[in-house]
A and B are shown apart, each in its own frame.
Chain A
Amino acid sequence: NAGVTQTPKFQVLKTGQSMTLQCAQDMNHNSMYWYRQDPGMGLRLIYYSASEGTTDKGEVPNGYNVSRLNKREFSLRLESAAPSQTSVYFCASILTFGNYGYTFGSGTRLTVV
């Protein structure tokens, strides 16, 4: 049982390049989330998908897009990377909200130069 799998683990991009961060969960969870973590800022929500077929903006959605490909997969795309998007990105999922906690992936460390 792998839980939440994020790929890649590390990535260096040049300003203006695009990339997609992949997230997959094998726990049949309904809701999935993308957070970014910056020093001194805690975790901030980028986008989330409360259920398959829906996506909503979080606190810091600018510069990002998401796709809930199916119940298992939730990808995060940076269309034109900027240095301000240098961060550690975490994907999380949850079976049902209100009764359980999130299960987090191990993170993607992204550097934009």
Chain B
Amino acid sequence: SQQGEEDPQALSIQEGENATMNCSYKTSINNLQWYRQNSGRGLVHLILIRSNEREKHSGRLRVTLDTSKKSSSLLITASRAADTASYFCATDAEKSGGSNYKLTFGKGTLLTVNP
């Protein structure tokens, strides 16, 4: 079963606009990660946020985590056509105070940035 669920399933914006994607999950986590997948390629790790962190930045990416609501958001500012890709959240579910040593992925958000 999917631990993370992204919303929306698809998002189309104009270059220069901001893009926000959301992820909801079901169980307690150690950390949550975001990945990008360009069409026909493997996934690329973008950012990891731990359960005791609320916000994290990396370049034009901003990730927030609300463990009380079991949700996260990924904000891409000043989007570019090259940001066109699918974005996935993945969770490291907590197990007996430790890790399951595996990530569970959501179904992804397809972001299209129009030039």
- Chain A residues packing against B (C-beta within 8 Å): 4, 31, 33, 35, 40-45, 48, 50, 58-59, 90, 92, 97-107
Closest 9 CB pairs of A and B: A101-B45, A104-B42, A42-B107, A43-B105, A50-B101, A104-B43, A106-B42, A42-B105, A97-B101
What A residues does B103 contact at CB under 8 A?
33, 45, 102
Given A45-B104, A102-B103, A104-B43: 14 more A-B contacts, CB < 8 Å: A35-B105, A42-B88, A42-B105, A42-B108, A43-B88, A59-B1, A90-B42, A92-B43, A98-B99, A101-B33, A101-B45, A101-B46, A106-B41, A106-B42
Q: Does B78 contact A (CB under 8 A)?
A: no
Given contacts A48-B102, A98-B30, A102-B43, contact A42 B2 (CB under 8 A): yes
Q: Is the interface of A mostly helix, strand, loop or mixed?
A: strand
